[in-house]
Amino acid sequence: MVMQTGITNSDTGLRALIECPVKTINVSIARRLYQVDTGPVALPDLTKTYDPPIDCLNLAFIAFNAPDFANFVVEQPAPVVEDGKEVCKIHHYSGPLSLPAKNVILAVGKL
């Protein structure tokens, strides 16, 4: 299975289509519910233009259970604190972000 998530920023006019394999999908046939969780993927920051354009990308995991929005958990620096002092920073997936999106799941074969 492959998924596509399209996101748009109406203020900048920028848009992106993220296409990737579905890593995990949970399904409840009885309740007619599903949830996709996959990543990491390259998530573009559409709030401004970047030079060079590759600087707009961040790693993130995507989760969704509806066709019209997606939740992203973005990799970002996080402080490591010992005895009230920051001793270093690590990269960690945090900072959840929910965006309007167009989600499509593509599959080949019998379901």
Domain edges within the chain: 2-106
pTM score, whole prediction = 0.84
How many Cα atoms within 13 Å fall on the side-chain side of residue 31? Answer: 7
Rg over CA atoms, the chain: 17
Average per-residue pLDDT for the chain: 94
DSSP state of 1: -
DSSP state of 55: G
How many Cα atoms within 13 Å fall on the side-chain side of residue 58? Answer: 20
Within 8 A by CB and 6+ apart from 64, the residues are 5, 35, 36, 70, 71, 101, 103
Spatial separation of the C-alpha atoms in residues 53 and 37, rounded to whole Å = 26
Query: Three-class SS of residue 49?
Result: coil
Q: Give residue 109's pLDDT.
A: 65
Q: Rounded mean pLDDT of 18-25?
A: 94
Q: Give residue 95's pLDDT.
A: 81
Q: Give residue 110's pLDDT.
A: 64
